[in-house]
Amino acid sequence: MSRVFVSQEIVDEALEEFEGTGITVDLRRDHTPLPAAELRAAASTYDGLICLLTDRIDAEFLAACPRLRVVANVAVGYDNIDVPAATRAGVAVTNTPGVLTDATADLAFALLLATARRIPEGDAFLRAGRYTHWRVNQEQMGVDVHGATLGLFGLGQIGRAVARRARGFDMTVLYHDVQRLPAEDERELGVTYAEFDELLARSDFVSVHAPLLDSTRHRFDAAAFAAMKPTAMLINTARGPIVDEAALAAALREGMIAGAGLDVFEREPEVDALLLELRERVVLLPHLGSATGTTRREMCRMAARSVRDVLTGKRPENLVNTELADRLVAGP
Same domain, 66 and 204: no
Question: Are the C-beta atoms of 48 and 27 separated by less than 8 Å?
Answer: no
Which of the following is catalytic: 28, 202, 287, 297? 287
Averaged pLDDT for residues 165-187: 97
pLDDT at 331: 46
Same domain, 237 and 111: yes
**Rounded to an integer, what distance in angstroms lies between the CA atom of residue 88 and that of residue 76?**
22
199-216 pLDDT per residue, tens: 999 999 999 999 999 999
pLDDT at 177: 97
Q: What CATH number corresponds to the domain at position 14? A: 3.40.50.720
How many separate domains does the chain show? 2
Same domain, 177 and 231: yes
**Rounded to an integer, what distance in angstroms lies between the CA atom of residue 304 and that of residue 49?**
9
Which of the following is catalytic: 239, 281, 305, 308? 239
What integer best gives the mean pLDDT of the chain? 96
Averaged pLDDT for residues 288-313: 97
pLDDT at 330: 52
Same domain, 146 and 229: yes
Its domain, for residue 265, covers: 101-284
Same domain, 251 and 219: yes
Residue 137 predicted with pLDDT over 50: yes
93-108 pLDDT per residue, tens: 999 999 999 999 999 9
Q: Verify whether residue 17 is a known catalytic residue.
A: no
Nearest CA-CA partner of 100 in 321, 303, 319: 303
Same domain, 150 and 221: yes
Same domain, 91 and 110: no
Same domain, 95 and 227: no
Same domain, 111 and 84: no
Same domain, 86 and 113: no
Instruction: Please list, in sequence order, all residues whose beta carbon lies within 8 angstroms of the beta carbon of residue 272, skipping any fewer than 6 positions away.
Output: 245, 246, 248, 249, 265, 266
pLDDT at 139: 87
Which of the following is catalytic: 9, 28, 268, 297? 268
**Global pTM value:** 0.92
Q: Verify whether residue 305 is a known catalytic residue.
A: no
Same domain, 84 and 142: no
Question: Are the C-beta atoms of 320 and 83 separated by less than 8 Å?
Answer: yes
% of the chain at pLDDT higher than 70: 99
Same domain, 210 and 149: yes
Q: Verify whether residue 239 is a known catalytic residue.
A: yes
**Rounded to an integer, what distance in angstroms lies between the CA atom of residue 281 and that of residue 303?**
37
142-154 pLDDT per residue, tens: 999 999 999 999 9
